[in-house]
Amino acid sequence: MTDTVAVLGPGRIGRQIALAFALGGCRVRLIDIKEGRSVADAERTLADARREIARDVGLMVEEQVIEAPAATAALARIEERVGLGALDDCSFVQEALPESVTLKRAAFARLNAVVADDTIIASASSTVSPSHLMDAVARPARFLVAHWLNPAHIIPLVEVVPSPSTAPAAVERTLGVLSALGKEPVTCHDSPGFIVPRLQVLLMNEAVRLVEEGVATAEDVDRAIRAGLGFRYASLGIFEFIDWGGVDILYRASRYMTETLGDERFKPARLVEQKMAWNELGPKTGRGFFDYTGARRDAFETEKVRALLRRLRRERPT
């Protein structure tokens, strides 16, 4: 675990990230770098951040996620600061500024003079490629994207995206820091949208189209997401569900929707077509995207049914 971290940007995601680090036992400097703003404006923003963090910690106590002494200790670990100052004692710096390449690059250029040579510098960008930012960082081998999902102090996932210049050791250190916080980091190659934003863009636009076309109301689409997709995918990964239902089901449903709706966006992915040709359809054939040979099929299906039943029990009104 790293001892002291800096979070640049006290906006919504920066506040949440600062709280996540503090809950994990780190000393945190939450910094407003004051680009083109007065000290008074920066101080007001930081005061608002402090109030919101205190509120969120209070809710965690009320919901029995943490106990009151842990909440008090976490708040005490967060220090608000206007301006960068020296950060040479911080082994990890998390940038959480607005999604502006110009703003982020300017911040990294300023960081170069105030951090130690081996400090990890991570961007929380959800859309900007690390390749478009890395050359603003002195020693780009220690730079990568660590994309936290909102609300960052609650959602376990953090997407870790190295640039072509990122050293493997920097990736491993970042994964270690995040895992020590209780997060669930995943790595992916530098590609627009990474993993979750890329999937979300498709899902959200399709949901809007359902409303545009009069298929369902926004309220009923949201109910379907909460009671169906959200309920299911809280216990199953999407590839696990493809296998469980059957790759052939996805293939046939995709072709039917492509033909009847007349839209190529529903056509099967090439790998789905290959799986059909290879008869790798899921547990029923022994292999899909995962291996189900031997006792694996029964173990997989039993585990997933149990997980869904546990979620059903938790979500039933008492």
Residues 229-253, mean pLDDT to the nearest whole number = 96
b/e map 215-249, b = 16+ CB within 10 Å: eeeeeebeeeeeeeeeeeeebbeeebbbbbebbbe
The pair of structure tokens assigned to 175 is 């994964």
CATH code of the domain covering residue 218: 1.10.1040.10
Question: Does the pLDDT of residue 36 top 80, yes or no?
Answer: no
Residues 162 and 77 in one domain: yes
Residues 147 and 176 in one domain: yes
Query: How many domains would you assign to the chain?
Result: 2
pLDDT above 90 covers a percentage of the chain that reads 94
Residues 80 and 219 in one domain: no
Residues 223 and 158 in one domain: no
The pair of structure tokens assigned to 13 is 């995601």
Question: Does the pLDDT of residue 93 top 60, yes or no?
Answer: yes
Residues 7-24, mean pLDDT to the nearest whole number = 97
**Omega cis (within 30) before 168:** no
Q: What is the pTM of this model?
A: 0.92
Question: Does the pLDDT of residue 232 top 60, yes or no?
Answer: yes
Q: How does pLDDT run across 142-175, given as a tens digit for each residue?
A: 999 999 999 999 999 999 999 999 999 999 999 9
Question: Does the pLDDT of residue 184 top 70, yes or no?
Answer: yes
Last residue of one domain, picked from the residues 187, 210, 233 = 187
DSSP string spanning the chain? Answer: --SEEEEE--SHHHHHHHHHHHHTT-EEEEEE--TTS-HHHHHHHHHHHHHHHHHHHHHHHHTTSS-HHHHHHHHHTEEEEES----TT-SEEEE---S-HHHHHHHHHHHTTTS-TT-EEEE--SSS-GGGTGGGSSSGGGEEEEEEPSSTTT--EEEEEE-TT--HHHHHHHHHHHHHTT-EEEE--S-TTTTHHHHHHHHHHHHHHHHHTTSS-HHHHHHHIIIIIHHHHTTS-HHHHHHHH-HHHHHHHHHHHHHHHT-GGGSPPHHHHHHHHHT--BGGGTBSSSB-TTTHHHHHHHHHHHHHHHHHHHHS--
Q: What is the pLDDT of residue 213?
A: 97
Q: How does pLDDT run across 39-78, given as a tens digit for each residue?
A: 999 999 999 999 999 999 999 999 999 999 999 999 999 9
Q: What is the pLDDT of residue 86?
A: 87
Residues 66 and 169 in one domain: yes
Torsion angle of the four alpha carbons 160, 164, 169, 174, in this order, in degrees rounded to the nearest 10: -20
Question: Does the pLDDT of residue 304 top 70, yes or no?
Answer: yes
Cβ atoms 266, 258 nearer than 8 A? yes
**Residue 231 pLDDT level (bands cut at 50, 70, 90):** very high
Of the listed ranges 36-40, 288-292, 301-305, the least confidently predicted one is 36-40
Taking the C-alpha atoms of residue 27 and residue 77, their distance in angstroms, rounded to an integer, is 5
Q: For the chain, give the longest Cα–Cα distance.
A: 66
Q: What is the mean pLDDT of the chain?
A: 95
Residues 182 and 200 in one domain: no
Residues 102 and 150 in one domain: yes
DSSP string spanning 50-93? Answer: HHHHHHHHHHHHHTTSS-HHHHHHHHHTEEEEES----TT-SEE
- Which residues span the domain enclosing 139? 4-187
Cβ atoms 19, 153 nearer than 8 A? yes
Torsion angle of the four alpha carbons 162, 165, 171, 174, in this order, in degrees rounded to the nearest 10: -80
**Residue 1 pLDDT level (bands cut at 50, 70, 90):** low
Q: What is the pLDDT of residue 34?
A: 79
Residues 83 and 174 in one domain: yes
Last residue of one domain, picked from the residues 147, 169, 187 = 187
CATH code of the domain covering residue 50: 3.40.50.720
Q: What is the pLDDT of residue 315?
A: 82
Q: How does pLDDT run across 273-283, given as a tens digit for each residue?
A: 999 999 999 99
Residues 183 and 200 in one domain: no
Residues 299 and 210 in one domain: yes
Question: Does the pLDDT of residue 318 top 80, yes or no?
Answer: no
Last residue of one domain, picked from the residues 136, 161, 187 = 187
Q: Please identify which residue in the block is written with the tokens 């006792």.
A: 295
Residues 70 and 155 in one domain: yes
Write the CA distances from 164 to 117, 135, 142, 241, 275, integer angstroms: 19, 11, 11, 32, 31
The pair of structure tokens assigned to 256 is 């039917």
Residues 50 and 157 in one domain: yes
